[in-house]
Structure 1
């Protein structure tokens, strides 16, 4: 089965449609699938629901899909540094389903593991739990959260072999593995593709069974908030 494609546009060919549900990896601007996001923008796919920790910044990452009004709904933990995200939400132009970060990660992991739902204490007694089934276990109240199954997962990894086994680099691992597992189809962008057998099996973070298509590309690796010390403090 061919998994390596020449470009993001080729890797997404035949997978995009209006009204689709996409799970996207990344945290802030760390480990985001920026090349695939750009290709989705260029494809003009609209009315998208996106499950992601946040929505990038105004002019980078998922934020560019907000600027082009291609996203209809976000399932997120954090509005963050994105002023357009906040503006569209407060003006009623964008649907938003807030999830605590751990709950969102577990919803993705559960969907990828074939688990339709799970109970958690997180959010009980808050607006997060409104309208959701509750259950008491050992005298403690829990709320039911549904697993996420997306039409498409888009993630960023450091290395892949040609069969799709993935290695993530440090904190860029973040939401990428659970996002990758919960998609019916998973497309991955990486910095390097190596032959099968090049990766130490003990160092593989996500097995290739979850990965459908791969591209290799150059990445900007933008820093969301650059913070430096003054010379006097060194």
Structure 2
């Protein structure tokens, strides 16, 4: 049986789950990293399913909250979020409204710093040294360090319970390939979470994705969202 299993490995999708099952794994109060830049490269089906299931009190680490009708913005409108860590919220008036009302906590982080904090979390680093924010309110309450006469902020690594990433393709083992700018934060986030759920556009047999095109290897991916059925999710 072991020989048969070895021979058939890679001939059918492994780690594949329905979008409903994937969303059920994520409890209220979880910390999520969600890939995407204004919704480009975001796992839209999984986000919509979290809204449908009524998830609450989530903390989301993302580049932005997109628009009210798109990407992470759907979670904002559904009031599913307790806190957002993002580089900007300027394109989503609903996020701004909830922040001003005190209904949601928003931590704004310079985009480059945010990317490096996520990378540090995935690589096991102790933090990031950056001059960005020195002499501004960003510096308040944070540790600083002087290197060669220049002052830097010490920004701590970011990690999450779940990374929800989108990909162009996944193969049957779970290797991921991304497409152009839709790649954005997804590979970094896939390194920095306890559980990684990938939502590919298509799932292909192992070997179809050229080795040089694999950005996120299968060892990092825990679950793959199955393709949509013709009459449902």
Q: TM-score, normalised by structure 2?
A: 0.89
Give matches, 1:1-40, under 5 Å: 2-5=14-17, 7-13=18-24, 15-40=25-50
Deviations 1:69-119 (A, max 9, x none): 110110000113211011111222110111011111111111111123121
Decide which of 157, 175, 179 is 2:185's aligned counterpart.
Answer: 175
Tell which deviates more after alignment, 53-62 or 163-172.
53-62
Structure 2 distance, partners of 1:129, 1:39, is 38
- Is the CA contact (8 Å cut-off) linking 1:191 and 1:216 kept in structure 2? no
- Is the CA contact (8 Å cut-off) linking 2:166 and 2:186 kept in structure 1? yes
User: Is 1:200 matched up with 2:228?
Assistant: no
**Secondary structure of 2:194's partner?**
coil
Give matches, 1:1-234, under 5 Å: 2-5=14-17, 7-13=18-24, 15-217=25-227
- Is the CA contact (8 Å cut-off) linking 2:162 and 2:196 kept in structure 1? yes
Deviations 1:43-89 (A, max 9, x none): 22211110001112112211111112110110000113211011111
Deviation at 1:193, TM superposition (A): 0.7
Supply the RMSD in Å over aligned alpha carbons. 1.4
Partner of 1:229: none
Aligned pairs, number:
216
Partner of 2:5: none
- 5+ long unaligned stretches in structure 1: 219-234
- 5+ long unaligned stretches in structure 2: 1-8, 229-233
Structure 2 distance, partners of 1:91, 1:138, is 43
- Is the CA contact (8 Å cut-off) linking 1:57 and 1:82 kept in structure 2? yes
Runs of 4+ in 1 over 4 A off after TM superposition: none
